Every structure is written in C-alpha cells, then in structure tokens.
Structure 1
Amino acid sequence: MRKFKWGYIFLVATVLVLGACGNSGDAGGTASSGNEQDSEEGGEVTIDLYQFKVEFKEQFEEMVAQYVEENPNVKINVETVGGGNDYGATLKSKIASGNEPDIFNIGGPQDYEDHKDRIAPIEDSKAADTALEGTLDAVTVDDQVYGLPYNLEGYGLIYNKAILEEAGINPDELKTMEDLQGAVEELDGMKEELGLEAVFAFPGKERWVYGNHSSSSFLAPEFNDSVTEAFEADTVEFELSEELKNYIDMQVNYSEQPVLSLDYSQQVEALYSMEKVAMIQQGNWAYPSIEQIAPEVAENSGIIPIPVDGESKMPVGVPQYWVVNSGAEDEVQKAAVEFLDWMYTSEAGMDIVLNEFNFIPAYEGYDTSQISDPLSEEIYRYSEEGNTSGWVFLGYPTGFSEDVYGNNVQQYISDEITWEEAMENSQKYWEENR
C-alpha cells in the first residue's frame, strides 16, 4: 500500500494547552471485582461506549459482539446517537447527568478544548503507532496523543450514474457552479422522462449536512484549508457568502418538498436509493445505507466535489476521534485502548473495518485495493492525487455549525429572515464565542 501524507488536512493546534486529566464526574465503566488486581485475575471489565455514527450501528454492534466473545472478561455497552440528533449536545447532557461514557467521540481542537478535563492520553496504543501521518495532529497536545481517528471520509454530491448518462450529462465536466446549475436545470426539465420526483433531496431537517459540510466547503478557502486557522480565528467573514447562498438556493429550489421536513433517512433511503432524485449532498458514509436498500443503485453511484470558487476539490478528513474518559478506572481505560487497538490493528478487526464498515482506513497496514464501494474509491483517488480540501468545521466555535449557522439557514429557507441576516447572526455568534 502506498503511504499517504495527511498533514495538509490537519495542522497541529498549537494554541491548545494541556488540561488537567482529572474528571469532574463519574465515568460509567466499572470492574465487577472492584479493583485492578482482581481484573487482571479474571474479573469482568465493563466499558460504556457512546458513539455518533448511525450509518454503521448494526455492523459495529456485531463487531463488538465478536470482540466480547473472544474476550469474555470484557463487557461493552454500546449506545449510538447521531443522524437526526446532535451528538455533541447529547454527549454534554449525558456528562452533566453524571452518567459519563468510558469511550466517546470528539471532533477537532474545539471539542478537545471543551472536554480536555476528562480525556485521557492514549498510551501504549498500537493503533496510534500506525495512524497515517497527520491524522493525529488535531488531537495531539504537547506531543501527547489524546484520540484515535475513526477513518478518512469525503463528501460531495453523490449522483446516479445511469440517470445522468440517460440525460446526456457528463459528471466529470461539472467543474464550476455554473456547470452544476446548468446540469440541474437540464435534469429538472427531464424529470418525467427520467422518472424523477426532483433533482435533489435537500435534508433541511438535518442541520449538520449544511451546517458542517456545506459551510465548511465554502469557508475552507477563507481559512486556507486549516482547521487550526478556523479554531484561532476571531471572526468569520463569509467571503464566499453569495456563492454559498446560490448553492443552498439551488438545492432547495430543485429539491423534493417540503425540504424542512426531509431527514437523512428520507434523503438517502427513500428518495435517492429508490431513484426518485438524481443527486444528494452526502459522503461515502452513506454507501452502506444505499447498498442495503438498493445494491444496484449503490454500485452505480458516483461522487463529485461541490464546486467552490472555481475549483473542484474533494473535502477529505477525519470525521471524529475515539477518546477514553480519564475518570474511568485504570483497568477500564486499559481495556478501552485494547478494544480500539483490536478494531484497527488485528486481522479480524481490519477485515471488518475495510469490508463491513466500508471505511477508508486512517491507518497503515491495510490493503487499500480492497476498497470496494465506488464512493470510497473515488474519494481515495482524489486523495492519492492530493486534490482535496480541509474540514474546517471541526474548528468552529462550539454550537456554531448546527445551533447557530444551521438554525439561521433554516430560518432563511422558511422566509423568516434574509440571507444577510443569517450571515450577520452567525458572524456575531462566532465573534462573541471566540
């Protein structure tokens, strides 16, 4: 396998300072014997795991069951919250209730800053040693690693190859927003002939789709593709505000209606997978859901970058990191790292990560020729070529992407405020929370 350099995606967040490793609440995990010595002698260790990726919930739970079967002294309770729910907000509520998970997820520097008092350093980890260069930078503070990357992901416009081919549209030629607008209008004019209900399915209910991903694509040039620059920025100018507005308007106007009631499941499964729309904005994480509903549609799907400022770069990054609660008992922390290492470095775990989760691995040692789904293959190709942009949304102020920007876009879509007001409100929040 060719070794890739991912340093350009994440720069080291040098402004972060190492917080105390003590925990302000009680973590959930316990050893049934009550002490480390008994655990080593065969006592059961219980790990409470709280994760965000709903797309592979079933496959992940099956993998956990396999691990527990091979390690009968370990019990892992899995809770998955994501999709239509704000994982970050629910995590904070869970922590505030005193029911803290032993393993949970964070994004970039801002999430680390929010939770640093309860994040343990990842020590003696095989997975950390094999992580691709640059993928640990966002969770490295003072040369100490505090998290393990989920995987590498990319997002853009997923399209049905057969539909675009029937319409005479070459997706490789959609390099600018003008190109995309022209293709969308052409598809709209052929809806009846193509059997479409709409060109897009814009999931207005899912603020993370446009609050994280759409905004990040249009803000990445402003922050030089750097999550660290976004994290350090005192303000956001929305330099490409008009282009971002046009992109949102285009999706809303040519979408299945009403957009504000459309959720992820309707977008991906009910509309795209059933060939009722030609394209959707999503990432390679959507492939398992599409494949489960309509295998032929999944295999006949492609993905192109969102055209931004005259360029066509695929946004690629680490979506989240696994972290271990520093308030958990020592044997629980140790068992947590051993589980994560098994998932990413054991022969059985690597096979599941590659072929069941359909992940693009963020670690060395994988046979990437086995990447089988067409969305991941295309994203991987862009990565090989270095034709990517960074995920700057991981450096946004806490609550900005969904609660503020996303909420303001929803109000704009429903004609409650103007686009200018949406941008002004978002900018004000950014400045007040920096």
Structure 2
Amino acid sequence: MKRKSLVLLLVMMLMSTFTLYGCGGAGNTTQSSTQETSQETAQQGEKKAPAKVDIFQNKSEFAEQLEAAAKLYMEENPEVQINIETVQGADYATALKAKMLNDDKPEIFGIAMVGVKEDYGDYQEDLSDQPWVEHLYPDIKETVTVDGKVLGLPVSIEGYGLAYNREVFEAAGIDCSTLTSYDAIDKAFATLQQKIDNGELKDKYPQLEAVVEYAAKEAFISGLHLMNIPLQAELKTAKAAFEAQEIELTHADSLKALIDLQTNYTPARNNKSLLNSVDYSTQVGGGLAIERVAVIQQGNWIAPELANVAPDVLEKIDVMPIPLKGVVEDSIAVGVSFNWCVNNQASDADKAAAKDFLNWLFQSEKGKQIVIEELKCIPAFDNYEDLDRLDPYSKRVAEYMGQGKTMPWVFSGYPKGFEPQAAADIQGYFAGDMTWEECVQKLKEDWKTLR
C-alpha cells in the first residue's frame, strides 16, 4: 500500500519498536482439524449457549498454527467447537463454492475481495460494530468497506518480491545494498551463477546449483503474482481491474524481462519447459530452505514453513525488489490477500462465537502474540506494539512499506478464471508452444473473454 496515511501510521508505529523500519501455498492438498474439549473455564460467570464455528480458509502456510490457536481458544471457551478446514492452491475457489452450496456452510470463510455480489456478497455479515474495526489502518479499512459497512477482517498485510539468501550473495562478494534496479539484480545473478558453475561456493554451500528456482507449475506464481506486476502499473487499483473489460498489456516487454530475470538463472535455464513441473514445495522446502537455490519469487507467507524446516535459513532471508524494467524497479508488491468474513446466515449463537474468536485472535494479548510469532502475519491493525517480534522477511516487508517502496495488488480484480488461464499461457510459452508475442495476445484475449 502506497497511500500516505498507511505509510505514516506504519512509520510512527515502527519507530517505537525497532530502529530499522522495514493464495498462499500451492499444490492441491486439503487439511482439516476438529478439536474438542470439555474443560471448564473459570473466566465465565455464566454458562453460554453451545456454538459451532467452522472456518474455511486457504492459508496453508499457517494451518497448523491456526489449529493450535483454536485449541487454546476452546480451552478458555469450552462451549465453542471450532473446526478448521484449509484448502490450498487454485482449488480453494472451487472448494469454497461447493462449500457454500451445502446446507452446513462455514461460519467464517476467506475471500480476496469483499462486497462483490457473485463472491458471496449475500453471506457477508456487517462487522462494523466489532472492536477491531477502529484499529484498522485507514487504507486497509477502505478495502473491506462497502456502502459504509465493514464486511471482512484483513488477515494479514503481505508483501512479495524476490526472497533471497543474503549470506549466499555476500559469500559471492556481492554488495546486497546495490540490488535496487533491474540491471543491478541481473548483473548480480549472472555473477552468482558463474561462481556456482565454477564451484567457488561448493565448500560452503554444497547443494547450491543455481541462483533461482521458479515454480511455473503453480498458477498463483505466474498467473496471479507475476501478472500483477505489469497490470498494477497499467490498471493502478483492484477496483479498476475489476471494471476493466480488456487489458492492453502496455508493459509486455518489461514483463518478458522479468520472466527472463527469474528463469535465465534456474537449473532449467537450458530447457525452460522443465519449469512447468516445478511446484511450491520444490521451490521453497526443496529449494530455498536447503540452500539448493538462493532466490525465489515469494512473499512473507513462506516464513512459517522456513521457521519449521530451516529456522537458520529464515534468519538469512532478505528481500530484493521485483523489478518491472523501466517502469518501477525498486519496489515490492504489498496488499491483503484474504479477508475472513462471517456468514450472516449462521445462527445467532454461532455468529457471536465466530466474532468473539476473531476478536480474541487479533486483539487479545495472547492472540496478538500468536498472530505475530506463530502465524507470522504483519497485522493490519494499529495497536500492535511488539513488531520487533516479526520474522526477518516480514520486517523487511514492513521496511519497504515505511519507505513507500511498494506497488499495489490488483489481482483481486482479475476476471474469474484468469489466474489459471494466464499461468497456462505462460507455461505454453515455456514449453515452446507459442512465441512471446503470441503469449501476450493470448493473455489479452483471455482477459476479455473471461470478463
């Protein structure tokens, strides 16, 4: 978010906490948890009515941590049964649609853009009277307000760029402070790849085989996040994207340059069709986490996984810009990927429990600690004081925000189906099925047809 109000609030808040101010996951797996407890709580003076809260969400990167948080809440509120189902990757939208057609609809569900009629607008409870609303950053609040009603809780401010292992670059003699433009990054990648190929880093990083890993198999990486970079420069806002009947792709040349930057230094650089089989797990857990590669296009949502499998590597993670050559080169993309909505057709008891759980998680002292330390979220609220507890990646995202070096997310305004189709188009380009010019034309045609 680049709006002044958000930046000023972030700067003021972070100056008091640390000196330096600065659709997730992939694959097609489903995780679910049902936690039960019969413990009594001494904090409740009167017995509350039994309530059920089903949460249907897509943040697989903190699914286990969210389940643990729900268990803690149920220990304090034994009359409430919380069930969490997490569907990750491109299957989420389809799974949510099926879920909302069932009689047993979730009490809390996640969506990218609130208020859109076809995106469950009829199911979104007015949350304007909730205690957390007054603490939303103004620019963030604007994104979840429709006709004067706050319809969703922003789960986390997120940012993505080129996540990299700073120590690998330093070992190659590269000054990381210079990585602020397309040309500088390209030059650094070339230098690092040459040293890898020459075996100069073999002793310190025995598994390091390439600079970058690019997971072209995942629709959200190419179709959602990569395409956002040129489209945010063309369309400016998610609302404008939602209203756009067609796109010009005025920055197609810069998009190709960005694709080249991320694929010319991969293990598949001599046969880019192989990128189409690289998935999220290979890129993150089997790539960056084990120091097989030094750079991936991902956001701060990878922090929980790195914290679990390679906490030492997480401490080395830094973020460089994701440069749109000649347009905007020293920024990362920042926004809110998902908002949790309360189903207004649930029973009164279940709705009350759903709202109380959201307040507990995002506003109680215990909940705030969980949000920052366990869920690894950058909170969308102005009353979090200990942001120095954020993981290294999230701190860097916050630093970019404080410096105003951000570009917006417009992908919540994409036509339905554009994400997987755009990814398929780019996969076709990697496979050699079409030229770049044909790929650009196909992307424009797909937008218009899907809209």
Same fold by TM-score, threshold 0.5 exceeded? yes
2:422 paired residue number: 405
2:345 paired residue number: 327
Give the counterpart of 2:250 among 227, 239, 247. 239
1:426 paired residue number: 443
* 2:161 aligned with 1:145: no
Q: Distance in 2 between the 1:300 and 1:7 partners?
A: 26
2:223 paired residue number: 211
Q: Distance in 2 between the 1:42 and 1:228 partners?
A: 42
The DSSP-based 3-state class of the residue aligned with 1:250 is helix
The DSSP-based 3-state class of the residue aligned with 1:135 is helix
The DSSP-based 3-state class of the residue aligned with 1:208 is helix
Give the counterpart of 2:287 among 271, 274, 277. 271
The 10-residue stretch of structure 1 (139-148 or 209-218) with the greater mean CA deviation from structure 2: 209-218
Q: Distance in 1 between the 2:424 and 2:347 partners?
A: 39
The within-5 A match list for 1:270-309 is 270-308=286-324, 309=327
Q: Return closer, same or farther for 1:237/1:174 CA change in 2, 3 Å cut-off.
A: same
Percentage of pairs with the same residue: 37
* 2:96 aligned with 1:91: yes
1:229 paired residue number: 240
The answer as to whether partners of 1:201 and 1:271 remain within 8 angstroms in 2 is yes
The 10-residue stretch of structure 1 (273-282 or 409-418) with the greater mean CA deviation from structure 2: 409-418
How many Å apart are 1:346 and its aligned residue? 0.8
1:354 paired residue number: 372
2:131 paired residue number: 126
Gaps of 5+ in 1: 9-39
How many Å apart are 1:62 and its aligned residue? 0.4
1:78 paired residue number: 84
How many Å apart are 1:261 and its aligned residue? 1.7
Aligned residues: 398
Q: Distance in 1 between the 2:57 and 2:63 partners?
A: 9
Q: Distance in 1 between the 2:54 and 2:115 partners?
A: 24
How many Å apart are 1:41 and its aligned residue? 5.5
2:19 paired residue number: none
2:442 is aligned with what amino acid?
Answer: N
TM-score normalised over the length of structure 2: 0.83
1:206 is aligned with what amino acid?
Answer: E
Q: Distance in 2 between the 1:274 and 1:233 partners?
A: 42
The answer as to whether partners of 1:301 and 1:374 remain within 8 angstroms in 2 is yes
Q: Distance in 2 between the 1:323 and 1:350 partners?
A: 19
1:338 paired residue number: 356
The 10-residue stretch of structure 1 (253-262 or 291-300) with the greater mean CA deviation from structure 2: 253-262
2:82 is aligned with what amino acid?
Answer: I
Q: Distance in 1 between the 2:240 and 2:114 partners?
A: 11
* 2:51 aligned with 1:45: yes
1:33 paired residue number: none
Q: Distance in 2 between the 1:294 and 1:305 partners?
A: 23
The 10-residue stretch of structure 1 (411-420 or 295-304) with the greater mean CA deviation from structure 2: 411-420
Q: Distance in 2 between the 1:97 and 1:42 partners?
A: 27
Give the counterpart of 2:389 among 363, 368, 371. 371
Q: Distance in 1 between the 2:432 and 2:99 partners?
A: 35
TM-score normalised over the length of structure 1: 0.87
The DSSP-based 3-state class of the residue aligned with 1:256 is coil
Gaps of 5+ in 2: 9-45, 203-207, 269-273
* 2:414 aligned with 1:396: yes
Q: Distance in 2 between the 1:246 and 1:138 partners?
A: 31
Q: Distance in 2 between the 1:381 and 1:375 partners?
A: 10
Q: Distance in 2 between the 1:331 and 1:414 partners?
A: 53
The DSSP-based 3-state class of the residue aligned with 2:323 is coil
The DSSP-based 3-state class of the residue aligned with 2:334 is strand
The DSSP-based 3-state class of the residue aligned with 2:139 is coil
Q: How far does the alpha carbon of each residue in 1:320-350 deviate from its partner, in whole angstroms, 9 at most, with x for none?
A: 1000112211221121111111111111101
2:65 paired residue number: 59
